[in-house]
């Protein structure tokens, strides 16, 4: 998925998180978006406090630890929805995660496995998505219709290797998860152009 399309889909998810109940196209929303893409928080306590009162596992629970050998986090939850609302639309799952440490590099780190209804999925969207010195990332994932016909989608995310040098495990938190139909092409193009402008402004910031 190119960066322009990824940015556009992230913008769709942000709108959904701001008003899931009133936005056409949002099929199901779990948790609340507490952190923007690229946000860096000071400690795990900040993430835990932000999730207070939200549904598990989006309630600030930390899954496993970075500094304990062989402890890799796993998060599992289920979206439940009316499949008749989907029609023939494409559907995206937009997931806010933090602390999974999938840093860019040569090659970029592949620290995450993804499953839909127990079936392994491509993980290209996670490769190198973590910004150094930042903790939160938002990924947009195409969901094949075959997983949606029964009105339930069980999502599982697992960390598989340490992300930072010196770590022996890899913890993970879940911020939110949104299941939504994709806007028609003209709307998506406009969002893509807007998303490209956001990327240019981010790139222009002084380091």
| Residues 8-64: tens digit of each pLDDT | 555 555 444 444 443 448 899 999 999 888 787 656 778 778 888 999 899 877 655
User: What total number of domains does the chain contain?
Assistant: 1
- E-assigned strand segments in 32-105: 74-80, 91-98
- Alpha helices by DSSP H, listed for the chain, are 3-18, 44-50, 185-204
Range of the domain at 76: 3-204
pTM of the model: 0.71
Longest CA–CA span in the chain (Å) reads 49
Lookup: tokens for 8 = 């556009």
Q: What CATH number does residue 43 fall under?
A: 2.60.120
Handedness of CA 141, 144, 145, 151 (dihedral sign): negative
Rg of the chain in Å (alpha carbons)? 17
| Residues 55-95: tens digit of each pLDDT | 989 987 765 545 555 556 688 999 999 998 888 888 999 99
């Amino acid at each position: 998925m190119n960066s322009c399309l990824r940015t556009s889909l992230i913008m769709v998810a942000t709108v959904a998180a701001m008003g899931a109940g009133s936005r056409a196209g949002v099929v199901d929303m779990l948790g609340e978006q507490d952190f923007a893409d690229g946000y860096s928080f000071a400690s795990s306590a900040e993430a835990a406090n932000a999730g207070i009162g939200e549904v598990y596992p989006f309630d600030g629970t930390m899954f496993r630890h970075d500094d304990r050998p062989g402890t890799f986090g796993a998060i599992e939850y289920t979206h439940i929805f009316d499949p008749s609302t989907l029609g023939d639309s494409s559907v995206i799952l937009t997931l806010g995660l933090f602390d999974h440490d999938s840093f860019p590099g040569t090659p970029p780190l592949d620290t995450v496995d993804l499953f839909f209804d127990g079936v392994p999925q491509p993980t290209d969207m996670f490769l190198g998505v973590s910004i150094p010195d930042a903790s939160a990332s938002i990924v947009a994932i195409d969901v094949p219709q075959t997983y949606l016909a029964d009105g339930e989608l069980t999502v599982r995310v697992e960390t598989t290797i340490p992300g930072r040098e010196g770590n022996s495990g890899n913890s993970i938190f879940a911020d939110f998860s949104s299941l939504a139909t994709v806007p028609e092409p003209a709307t998506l193009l406009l969002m893509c152009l807007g998303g490209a402008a956001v990327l240019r402004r981010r790139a222009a910031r002084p380091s």
